[in-house]
Structure 1
Amino acid sequence: MKYRLLGNTGVWISEISLGAMTFGGSGDPIYGALGGLGRDETDRMVAAALDAGVNLIDTADVYSNGESEELLGHALRHRRDDVVLATKVHSPTGPGPNDAGWSRLHVMQALEASLRRLGTDHIDLYQLHNFDQFTPFEEVLAALDDAVRQGKVRYIGAANLAAWQVSKALGVSAARNLNRFVSLQSYYSLVGRDAERDLVPMVQAEGVGLFVWSPLAGGFLSGKISREGATGETRRAAPGYPDFPPIDRERGHDVVDVLRAVAARHDVSPARIAIAWLLAQPAVTSVTVGARRIDQLTDNIGASGLVLTAQDLSELDEVSKLPPAYPNWIQEMFAGARRPNG
């Protein structure tokens, strides 16, 4: 396993991290399709990841209605100090009007509930799971700063925010001397490269770590889905499971064709190549993988250390790249105007 620095914290993070969305939720139409793993299966999955060198495990209070945190806490009961433990807050965790969002009221209640379910006295990385249009950054960042000063949280981060939202939050933290986001979780894949337009340059400029979720686009890049349909077990083929993350399927199949060709050259799975491509992107700190079986986890972890050739990267980039959006394209057009030698 290789390790990368988490932003400017000095903390080393495994470049492959374990996502806990597959833990719990048996019988639930969504979480059951994702995994629905029970206690024994979760214990084995976590042990296999840690034994392979994974040191970042990410969950959320909303996953399987809190069961994911409970199962993860049990799995880590003897190995808590081996991991950077991350969870999230924002999504509804109850029926009440204040059982969601970024308010100090909800964040403090949710934090205590997560600590209890995880069976720990602190969370290493506490993240805002999505944007709350009703709560200003000043409110939530002050609450998170208090949690850090109380010793209940080590670092704070965010997920699924726009570049301007992260930048605004960093500005508020700087102006008010509050703890700042050290990481951003974003969807990023060979069939979902929108993050490159603004998020990637922002995290690089601001020294924020980038964690990637759904690197296989919900199983689409596993190689088990063709133009003719699913040829193996994948969540996208599960009854009732939403088409998530949304993708352009026709364009996506072109990407998979090239992915299979590159995988054949290396004699590995398409999934491993898709993750290795992300690890070759300089802004990426860690790619978060979720698995239902140990063999899937082992295959995904195998992407660490897999070096793609210049030809591999060029072919994958060519078939998957997006046209630049405004104002990116006009800035690129005039980027050389200030160079005295052309």
Structure 2
Amino acid sequence: MRRRRVGTSGLEVSHIGLGTLTWGADTDADAAKAQLAAFVDAGGTLVETSDAYGDGAAQETLRGVLASAVAREQLVIAGRASLPGGPLGDGAARGALLAALDATLARLGIDHLDLWQLPGFDATVPLEETLSAVQLAVMAGKVRYAGLVAPAGWQLATVAERGRTLGSITVPVSAQVEYSLLSRDVEHELLPAAQHHGLGLLAWAPLGRGVLTGKYADGTPADSRAASPTLAPYVEARRNERSARIVQAVLTAADGLGTSPLSVALAWVRDRPGVAAAIVGARDAAQLAASMAAESVTLPAEIRSALDDVSATR
């Protein structure tokens, strides 16, 4: 698997990342172990996790896998911070963020995160205080790089500019955002801002929450996320008439290329300007293998253009 620099930083990641949203829940320890081993064997390095996934269960599962299957040094671990509350404050307060970082490191059983992704944009806390948490974490050796989660374009630009006044180590290198053929709003403001300020995008839900695989074209499979009471609203938000047209275009492209709709959708996101990595999730090793197969797919210019047209939002 090829690797890319994240924006203009020195951080390098595999251009397909492995998400752990379902680990400790739909994905048990054995399945997680098989996934990560296959991912690393294929050349994957970027693993994304959060203390909010299963209330910490995903990180505890990852800890077990690191202890038994894959060496920590083989991975770029991106930890997504939540907005916890506690005696030191909540939201993006320095005390709350540093306490949450320590808890994440303890839960994972590691001494540092390669990428610490800060949540949201907290208007109740001075931005300098939030960025000073990054500075302290980097200087303490607990964090190598910092990124943002789902910022607006103006928020990303503000954080990047303010970070430079505090020193280069506080400037974020990435923004994790939802980006797929079904979700292209980031192209209007966020993506240009990220490119201008040298940040790379980590594309979350590049398969349109599973809709772009075509599995829902004729209904809702019993074993799919849309059939789950907890995950159904997450998937249903991407099922509408516009989505149906885009999915049909993806199916047509896949048929013409002799590949899967999943590979077409993933290759489209993976090779968009400004994208450092597309993060995929999988229930088991077989699903992950299907995503890894997209490595060999490069979309011809005419197919990419057709997909751009059918999915355009403006």
Same fold (TM over 0.5): yes
Could you tell me whether the CA contact under 8 Å between 1:217 and 1:244 is conserved in 2? no
How far apart are 1:239 and its partner, in Å? 2.4
How far apart, CA to CA, are the structure 2 residues paired with 1:310 and 1:60? 36
How far apart, CA to CA, are the structure 1 residues paired with 2:296 and 2:10? 22
SS in 2 for 1:229: coil
How far apart are 1:48 and its partner, in Å? 1.0
Could you tell me whether the CA contact under 8 Å between 1:19 and 1:288 is conserved in 2? yes
Greater share of residues in helix: 2
Instruction: Provide closer, same or farther for how the CA distance between residues 321 and 213 of structure 1 changes in structure 2, counting only shifts above 3 A.
Output: same
Say yes or no: does 1:150 pair with 2:154: no
How far apart, CA to CA, are the structure 2 residues paired with 1:263 and 1:233? 23
Among candidates 219, 235, 238, match of residue 247 of structure 1: 238
Say yes or no: does 1:135 pair with 2:137: no
How far apart, CA to CA, are the structure 1 residues paired with 2:251 and 2:212? 9
How far apart are 1:89 and its partner, in Å? 1.1
Partner of 1:169: 159
Say yes or no: does 1:102 pair with 2:92: yes
How far apart, CA to CA, are the structure 2 residues paired with 1:48 and 1:183? 26
Paired letter, 1:194: D
How far apart, CA to CA, are the structure 2 residues paired with 1:121 and 1:317? 43
Say yes or no: does 1:235 pair with 2:205: no
Among candidates 36, 40, 51, match of residue 46 of structure 1: 36
Partner of 1:80: 72
Q: Could you tell me which runs of 5 or more consecutive residues in structure 1 were left unpaired when the two chains were aligned.
A: 26-35, 324-342
**Structure 1 moving runs of 4+ over 4 Å:** 96-100
* 1:8-23 superposed matches below 5 A: 8-23=8-23
Paired letter, 1:166: L
How far apart are 1:155 and its partner, in Å? 0.5
Could you tell me whether the CA contact under 8 Å between 2:15 and 2:278 is conserved in 1? yes
Q: Which moved more, 1:3-12 or 1:241-250?
A: 241-250
Q: Could you tell me which runs of 5 or more consecutive residues in structure 2 were left unpaired when the two chains were aligned.
A: none
Task: Give the fraction of aligned pairs with identical amino acids, expressed as a percent.
Answer: 37
Among candidates 187, 191, 194, match of residue 185 of structure 2: 194
Partner of 2:252: 261
TM-score normalised to the size of structure 1?
0.86
Instruction: Provide closer, same or farther for how the CA distance between residues 117 and 314 of structure 1 changes in structure 2, counting only shifts above 3 A.
Output: same
Could you tell me whether the CA contact under 8 Å between 2:157 and 2:194 is conserved in 1? no
Among candidates 65, 76, 83, match of residue 91 of structure 1: 83
How far apart, CA to CA, are the structure 2 residues paired with 1:137 and 1:73? 32
Partner of 1:271: 262
How far apart are 1:133 and its partner, in Å? 3.0
How far apart, CA to CA, are the structure 2 residues paired with 1:217 and 1:131? 25
How far apart, CA to CA, are the structure 1 residues paired with 2:230 and 2:251? 28
- Structure (1 or 2) with the larger CA radius of gyration: 1
How far apart, CA to CA, are the structure 2 residues paired with 1:19 and 1:3? 17
* 1:18-37 superposed matches below 5 A: 18-25=18-25, 36-37=26-27
How far apart are 1:234 and its partner, in Å? 2.4
Partner of 2:113: 123
How far apart, CA to CA, are the structure 2 residues paired with 1:291 and 1:98? 36
Partner of 2:300: 309
How far apart, CA to CA, are the structure 2 residues paired with 1:2 and 1:305? 11
Paired letter, 2:204: W
Query: Per-residue CA shift, 1:242-290, capped at 9, x if unaligned?
Result: 4326336100000001100001112221111100011221111100000
Paired letter, 1:76: L
How far apart, CA to CA, are the structure 2 residues paired with 1:292 and 1:100? 33
How far apart, CA to CA, are the structure 1 residues paired with 2:117 and 2:18? 16
TM-score normalised to the size of structure 2?
0.94
How far apart are 1:129 and its partner, in Å? 2.7
CA RMSD of aligned residues (A): 1.7
How far apart, CA to CA, are the structure 1 residues paired with 2:62 and 2:2? 23
Aligned residues: 310
How far apart are 1:130 and its partner, in Å? 2.5
How far apart, CA to CA, are the structure 1 residues paired with 2:270 and 2:139? 33
How far apart are 1:24 and its partner, in Å? 0.9
Say yes or no: does 1:62 pair with 2:52: yes
Say yes or no: does 1:203 pair with 2:220: no
